[in-house]
Every structure is written in C-alpha cells, then in structure tokens.
Amino acid sequence: MTFDVIVIGGGSAGQSAALQLLRARRRVAVVDAGRPRNRRAAHAQGFFTRDGATPGSLLEISRAQLERYGTLEWVEGEAVGASGARDAFRVELAGGRMLEGRRLIFAVGVRDDLPGVEGLEPLWGREVFHCPYCHGYELERGDIGVIGSSELVVHMAELITEWGEVTFLPFGFVPDAGQVAAMEARGVRVESAALARLEAGPVAHLADGRALRFAGLFAASRVWPASPLPEALGCRVEETPMGGVLAVDAMGETSVAGVFSCGDAARQPHSIALAVGHGAMTGAGVHRSLVF
C-alpha cells in the first residue's frame, strides 16, 4: 500500500500534522521511535487546557484520538533510511520493512548539545532546564543559577530575573564590563569564579571551592535535528546561533519537493504549544500539496 503521507516522528508536532491529514481522509503512517525530547520532564507546563499534565499522557491521549480514524497506521519503530522523490518516497525501518508514500513529514525533534559541565547531563530536564516559560514558575521565586556558556546566556539571565533571584555562573565565557553592568542592572549576581561541576540538588561547585545550592538551573543548549535522514535526503539545514533547523517555507515544505518538516526540528524557539501549532499548519500544507 502506498500512503498519502508518512510522518516520521510521533511527538506533539507529528501527531498534530497527522490529525489534519486524517481528518481529510488521507492514508497516513506515523513512525514513532518513542524517544520524545521532553521524556525526562515531570510535567508539561503552559499548554492550553493541559497545564501540568505529564508529557507522556498528552501523547497517549492524542494517539488514542488519532487511532479512531480508519486511515491511520501507527508504526512503532525507527526510520533508518529515506529515499525517492515527490509522489514516490520510500522509508526503511529498522528490521527491514519498507513504507511507500507520496509525501514525507519529518517531525523528528532535536538533540541537545549541552555545555560540557561535569554532572549536567543527568540533571537535564529535571533540575537543569532550557525554558523559563516551561519551568520557571515551579521554582517558587527561589535562587536560580544560569550557566554562562556563551554570550546568548547574558540575555537569558536578564530575562530569568522575572522568576527568581538569579546568579550568572561563568563557564567557558567571561562577560565583558558592559554585559556585567547590564545583568547587574536587572538584579543578576555575576560570579567571578568559574563553574566547575554540578550535582543533584542542584548544587553548583565553583572553581574556588565554594558550593552553591539552587532551586533550579538554566542552560542554553545548541540543538540539531535529531535524525540524520532529512539532511541525507537533501533537505537544507540553516545554522542559527542556537543550532541548526531544517529550512522550510510558510507551509512547512523543505528544500526537497514533497518533503515537509514541523516542530522543533524546523523552528525555534521550542515548546509543546508551538510544536502543535506548527504541526497543524504543516499538515494542512501537505494536504494542499496533495490536492493541487
């Protein structure tokens, strides 16, 4: 069977795109490897009508609703290859199965390249966060550390003063006098000693031997599409100060005809709400490409 659309990625954006296509009575395969970026987060905050729900529960509810439509095939597995052209794509799954489809949607999410602080990775998504709108309120206006790994983090530190008392922890980047003055004008405390390592708590150990405990920490990761398949198929990746995104037009189509992308892999900044909206628009764009 040839599907109208193969969606690679069953997260918020992929399911939202699939919903629009299913409601247009199109045959859709969703290929999901079950590794959403927010799988470590205890709660999904700031999402309309579902504030505080667990990320997994949102995906379970959505999948159950998608499966009410008779033209869906949900494929649990990993896409390991993609080839072909508009109206004749082939997707290879781990295990050897091949899917054929007229259009592809890459809703593959992103991988985070984290600052190289010892002890950071196990705390990512639990005590070290990337988005104050997603996680700031729950810190109860406590002490917040910001890992100063680049010039971009200066702006982050200034913004996060809306959620608590902020300390800038230099790591591989030393702010100049003007940047220090700007942060201090917003109430940010700028440490002179560099951050050495982190441990659960979270606790920041500094190079001068001091240990500072925080309600939570924020860090700026650089992100890249989580799958190599779009680039291997020829989709253009644009590099930004925050990493790389798949270049798409207003309807979500990449530089390869018939190949679309939505969600975190194709836009910045990132949140569930933004991914859902982008997925809905891309799903409609794919449907229009099938009609016209």
- Terminal Cα-to-Cα distance of the chain (whole angstroms): 22
Reported confidence tier of residue 137, pLDDT bands at 50, 70, 90: very high
Proportion of the chain above pLDDT 70, given as a percent: 100
CATH topology of domain 2-112+221-291: FAD/NAD(P)-binding domain (3.50.50)
Q: In DSSP terms, which residues pair with 143 in a beta bridge?
A: 165
Mean pLDDT computed over 236-245: 94
Reported confidence tier of residue 41, pLDDT bands at 50, 70, 90: confident
Reported confidence tier of residue 55, pLDDT bands at 50, 70, 90: confident
Whether residue 230 contacts residue 8, with contact meaning beta carbons closer than 8 Å, is answered with: no
User: Per-residue pLDDT tens for 250-277?
Assistant: 999 999 999 999 999 999 988 999 999 9
Are 2-112+221-291 and 115-218 the same fold in CATH? yes
Question: Measured in whole angstroms, how far is the alpha carbon of residue 64 from the centre of its chain?
Answer: 23
Task: Report the distance separating Cα 221 and Cα 177, nearest Å.
Answer: 24
How confident is the model at residue 219, as a pLDDT? 97
CATH of 115-218, one of 3.30.300.30, 3.50.50.60, 3.40.190.10, 3.40.50.300: 3.50.50.60
User: Per-residue pLDDT tens for 174-201?
Assistant: 999 999 999 999 999 999 999 999 999 9
Proportion of the chain above pLDDT 90, given as a percent: 90
CB-CB neighbours of 232 under 10 Å: 11
Domain positions in the chain: 2-112+221-291, 115-218
Token readout for 72 is 């869906």
Task: Report the distance separating Cα 188 and Cα 209, nearest Å.
Answer: 21
How confident is the model at residue 43, as a pLDDT? 84
- Name residues whose C-beta falls within 8 Å of residue 13's C-beta, 6 or more positions apart in sequence: 107, 109, 262, 263, 264, 275, 276, 278, 279, 282
SS (H, E, C) 114-183: CCCCECCHHHECCCEECCHHHHCHHHCCCEEEEEECCCHHHHHHHHHCCCCEEEEEECCCCCCHHHHHHH
pLDDT at residue 45 is higher than 90: no
